[in-house]
């Protein structure tokens, strides 16, 4: 097994632009002021701070990837809640893998959008590169979703190789 640097992919600016008016379930976006902070923002891959304007929207990451690649994920197409900034934030300010201090699930997907399996990853930053290398050592894995264990929420995507950017 070789170790490779992996890049977390935030929700891309074109998708964010759309999500800031209506989410992937077709509901209008309702921004609010975050009074407590700590919401995992999928636009810039950090936690919110008190006073920031954010929104909780429904997002379908596999559907958006499938639209780009021609995959047909069928029943694996799902949407779920994610937090984003209410206005443009400029994206992540680091290439470090975010949200690694809690247990996470690394869910593997094939090029046709089918789930190939998953793995629970211990909540230590050192565990994530190993889990991603393990996932991508399988040539059938096209992309990985990192998700929260508690609620199953999508946190970010990692693709094979050094692909950067987003949907």
Query: What pLDDT sits at residue 123?
Result: 83
Tell me the HSE value of 5 on the side-chain side, using a 13 A CA sphere: 6
47-57 pLDDT per residue, tens: 999 999 999 99
For residue 165, the model assigns a pLDDT of 44
User: What integer pLDDT is reported at residue 26 of this predicted model?
Assistant: 97
Predicted pLDDT of residue 59: 97
Cα distance between residue 118 and residue 104, in whole Å:
10
Q: What is the pLDDT of residue 161?
A: 64
- Helix, strand, coil shares of the chain, percent, nearest 5, are 15, 30, 55
Below-50 pLDDT ranges, the chain: 1, 163-166
In this prediction, residue 1 carries a pLDDT of 46
For 12, half-sphere exposure in the C-beta direction (CA atoms, 13 angstrom radius) is 14
Q: Which pLDDT value is given to residue 5?
A: 80
Tokens at 162, concatenated: 């050094």
């Amino acid at each position: 097994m070789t170790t490779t640097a992996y890049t977390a992919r935030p929700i891309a600016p074109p998708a964010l632009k759309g999500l800031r008016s209506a989410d992937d379930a077709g509901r209008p976006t309702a921004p609010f002021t975050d009074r407590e902070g700590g919401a995992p923002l999928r636009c810039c891959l950090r936690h919110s701070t008190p006073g920031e304007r954010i929104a909780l929207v429904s997002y379908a990451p596999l559907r958006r990837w499938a639209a780009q690649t021609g995959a047909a994920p069928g029943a694996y197409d799902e949407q779920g809640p994610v937090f984003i900034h209410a206005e443009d934030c400029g994206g992540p300010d680091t290439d470090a893998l975010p949200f690694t201090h809690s247990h996470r699930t690394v869910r593997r997907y094939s090029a046709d959008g089918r789930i190939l399996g998953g793995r629970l990853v211990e909540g230590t930053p050192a565990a994530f590169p190993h889990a991603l290398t393990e996932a991508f050592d399988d040539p059938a894995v096209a992309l990985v979703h990192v998700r929260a264990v508690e609620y199953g929420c999508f946190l970010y995507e990692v693709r094979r190789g050094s692909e950067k950017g987003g949907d």
